[in-house]
Amino acid sequence: MTAGVAISAWLSRNTGRPFAAMPATEVTGGSIHRCVRWHGEGGDAFVKVAGADTLSAFEAEAEGLQALAAAGALRVPAVLAVGEAGGHALLALEWLELEPVAGSDGELQAQLGERLAMQHRVTAPRFGWHRDNTIGATPQQNAWDDDWVRFLRERRLGAQLDLAARNGLESRIVDRGRDLGDRCGAFYSSHRPVPSLLHGDLWGGNWGVVSSVREPAIFDPAVYYGDRETDIAMTRLFGGFGPRFYAAYQAAWPLDQAAGTRRPFFCVHPGGGTVLAYVALSRHLGPDRPFYGLQAPEPLNGHAPPGDSVEAMAARYAAALREVQPAGPYLLGGWSLGGVVAWEMARQLRGAGEEIELLALFDAHVPRPRPAGDGDLPLLAAFAQNLGLSPEHLPVTAAEVQAMSPDERLAVLVDAGRHLRLLPPDAGVEGLARLFRTFAGHVEAMERYTPGTFDGRLILYRAAEETAHGNGRDAHGWRHLALRGVEVREIPGTHFTLLREPAVTELAARLAEDLP
């Protein structure tokens, strides 16, 4: 009897219905086991075929699929049979006609996120599972433990490091991994995860869309009970999960992360070159959101590099960003000129193959040249407003300012800034002149910049008063450059008050809702 005939007989015996004598087709994508489609009366079967020593792993996978099915949250292929025939270990599953993930729409991503949260609400008294299993071809230890940190350190990180050491990974890297394991309790100082039912290997290749009913299905699990954020972290490794997935999950069961363990948000300086404008925003986002301000070196030395450009600034800041977070997905943003530079950073990072999960523009406009003959006065007025000085704060008329020398104009700003405590008491004209030169250099670089297109998620947090006065109705010029469209959030205030109270409170609340 050939192996094919033996497997066909095994299928028929275990399902109670006849199957063809030989498999219909090989199924691509089974990188670990041979996978075939087998025709049968009443429905086809998806059959995994491997050496007899794989039986235990197939039995564990079958139990994992049954546990996920019992949760009643997400579609999984039904287990038809598991056993041996023809000298092979076999796992036979219901055949599901799947569409590729790339063809799924946002609604299906949202269904997946919502239903995964439902699955995670199935809990156990302890972390682990009643048996060991495999993740891919790698053994996965699941002995029960009351302490998640110990389970994570010993059953996950420690076990992988032991395997890596046996396979020849250099000891320096193994030692660094063990040091991380010793310290990982710090990530859980305020986070107390419950033991949730996990898929355990939820990357983009382990879910699809069932064509007949248009619903998401998951498969190839490595089931155990653990911190649900483990499944969420796995979804971020290789792509395949969009913003609608994460938003729906958050809406169904918001993640409760430990202080400082959320993914970092990187914010580019505005025209003045400093990041002081973001102090209130970063405070409102809270201590569990790492907030990195990308500041220019020029405020310290008073001049921008000769011929500096938005493209060059973006390249410098992208390199600095990668020192903190070597790989994406990235969360970027910026106010005013900072938004323009962040746009170019996002384009360069995408060109390098990185994912930009969110680009947040705080009332940033597509650059356009200043009208000829305007001189430096409009630039100085914008600089003053960046400092927080509105025209009503200045004890001079426009005509008087027009007649002043550059240093006299700066002296007026220094006096007003000191009086309103927007500048330190020892601020002087020379220091403010350095800041103005930096501001002017950045504005000139922005005016020379012609932005290209961007294909990631873009949100414009637009100052509502600018829109009310007729500005910004075209999403500040970004709409025709944003290949995936622009989401617009209206924030009370003007361009210059957006990052100050009370507007910044609203801005931070809306941004917090959008950040993953």
Residues annotated as catalytic (active site), given as ranges: 201
- Torsions phi, psi for 137 (to 5 deg): -100, 5
Q: Are 202 and 124 in contact (CB under 8 A)?
A: no
Q: What's the chain's Rg over C-alpha atoms? A: 29
The Cα 126–Cα 314 span in angstroms is 48
The Cα 278–Cα 335 span in angstroms is 9
Q: Are 331 and 263 in contact (CB under 8 A)?
A: yes
Q: Starting from the edge strand earliest in sequence, which strands make up the sheet with 88-94, in order?
A: 25-26, 34-38, 45-51, 88-94, 79-85
* Side chain identity at residue 269, one-letter code: H
Total residue length of the chain: 516
Long-range CB contacts for residues 470-476, cutoff 8 Å, separation at least 24: 472/363, 472/365, 476/361, 476/363, 476/364, 476/365, 476/366
- Cβ burial, residue 440 (10 Å; 0-12/13-18/19+): middle
The Cα 274–Cα 282 span in angstroms is 14
Q: Using alpha carbons, list the distances in angstroms from residue 40 to 1, 36, 85, 429, 436.
A: 20, 13, 17, 86, 78
* Side chain identity at residue 399, one-letter code: A
Q: Which helix (H) or strand (E) holds 417?
A: helix 406-419
Q: Is 40 helix (H, G, I), strand (E, B) or coil?
A: strand
Give DSSP secondary structure letters for 165-217. HHTT--HHHHHHHHHHHHHGGGGGSS-----EEE-S---GGGEEEETTTTEEE
The Cα 458–Cα 172 span in angstroms is 41
The Cα 200–Cα 202 span in angstroms is 6
Query: What would the two tokens of residue 288 be?
Result: 């569990």
The Cα 455–Cα 175 span in angstroms is 40
